[in-house]
Amino acid sequence: MTKAERYKNVLQWFEANAQSATTELHYTNPFQLLIAVMLSAQCTDKRVNMITPPLFEAYPTPEALASASPDEVYEFIKSCSYPNNKAKNLVKMAQKLVNDFGGEVPADIDSLLTIPGVGRKTANVMLVVAFDVPAMPVDTHVFRVSNRLGLTDNAKTPLEVEKELVKYIPKEFLSKAHHWLILHGRYVCTARNPKCEECGLREYCQYYGYKVYG
C-alpha cells in the first residue's frame, strides 16, 4: 500500500464512521477556548471542563483576567497540572490581548504565537476550532496515531508530523482530521494497550501489520 493510498483509505474510513468529531472542551467564545486549551496541556479535557466554569465566571473578559494576580487565578486551577506556570501564563496572555490586540484573540498564527503560554499546537487549535481555519495541531494523540498508522515515517517531532499531515491531507479535511485523530487516540489507539481488535483501521495500519505479521 502506498502512502497516498493509506491516507485515502484512512480518511474515507473516518469520513464514514466519525463525522461528528469536534473538541471536547467546553467554551462559548475564542477567549474561553484559549484559556481551556492552555489549561489542557498535560491535563485531560474532563478535568479542564471541571475547572473552567467558575474561572470563566470570575474572569469573563480579557480585561478582568489581566487585572488578576497569578495567585488569585491559581486558586481556580490548582487541581490541573502545572497550576503555578499556567496561572502566570493566563494572566500574561490576558494582558497581551488587552495591550496588543484590543482585547480580542487574534485569528492568525503569527500573532497567536506572540502570546505568552501559546505554542504552535495551541495556536493551531485556535485556528481550527475558534476560527475554522484549516490547520493541523499535533498533540500526543495525533503524534502517536499518525506514526502507528503509517501516515508519517517515524516522525520525531510534532512539527515533522504536522508538515507531513498537511502535505497529504486535503485542506478541506484538515480540521476534521485533527479531531478524528485525537479522538481515535484517546479512545481506541491508546498509548498503552491499543484496542486493535476494536479498530476499524486495522487493515490500513502499519503498526497492526507489524504486530500480526512481524
Q: Which residues are catalytic?
A: 121, 139
CA distance linking residue 5 with residue 63, whole number of Å:
50
- The one-letter amino acid code at 44 reads T
- Asked if 99 and 126 count as a contact pair (C-beta separation under 8 A), the reply is no
- Asked if 129 and 174 count as a contact pair (C-beta separation under 8 A), the reply is no
- The one-letter amino acid code at 189 reads C
CA distance linking residue 24 with residue 212, whole number of Å:
33
Query: How would you label 91-117 residue by residue, b for 16+ Cβ within 10 Å and e otherwise?
Result: bbbbbbbbeebeeebbeeeeebeebeb
CA distance linking residue 142 with residue 75, whole number of Å:
31
Place of cell 484512512: 10
Question: What separation in angstroms does the CA of 63 have from each of 59, 92, 101, 102, 202?
Answer: 8, 11, 12, 10, 49
Q: Return all residues near 67 (Cβ < 8 A) that are at least 6 apart.
A: none
